[in-house]
Amino acid sequence: MVNRRRGEIEATIEGRRHVLVLTLGALAELEAAFRAENLVALAERFADGRLSAQDITRILGAGLRGGGWDIADGEVARLRFAGGAPETVRLVAALLRATFLCGSDEGNGEGGDPSDAGA
């Protein structure tokens, strides 16, 4: 079971359940990857909801590594996520909400509410 207050979410990836969380180390990794000066700049970078496939891969990779899976972004790009591309986008939105909205009770822990996928 995930702890939403810690920013954790669950996802089904290639038929197995995984916990994703953007730990402090994962956030530092994303700051470097996106050349963000700080967490506020990183959050602003994601706020408009316009993410490339490479952005999604980086965010998911950081979240999976934060959850304890030793996986490179290149491997993340080859994974099969339950629900395909639309669910993968919802998953990233849920991870970002869980991280930057301080573990609010939005969503169900696995991809969040489909009606607010643009978060």
This prediction has a pTM of 0.82
Measured between alpha carbons, how far is 67 from 81 in angstroms, rounded to an integer? 16
* pLDDT level of residue 111 (50, 70, 90 thresholds): very low
Predicted confidence at residue 102, as pLDDT, reads 64
Question: In the predicted model, what is the mean pLDDT of residues 4-10?
Answer: 90
Residues 113/106, Cβ–Cβ less than 8 Å: yes
Predicted confidence at residue 48, as pLDDT, reads 84
Rg (CA), the chain: 13
Taking only the tens place, the pLDDT of each residue in 25-45 is: 999 999 999 999 999 999 999
Q: Considering only 11-15, 32-36, 99-103, which range has the smallest mean pLDDT?
A: 99-103
Predicted confidence at residue 58, as pLDDT, reads 97
For 110, other C-beta atoms within 10 Å of its C-beta total 18
Predicted confidence at residue 84, as pLDDT, reads 87
Dmax (CA) for the chain in angstroms is 37
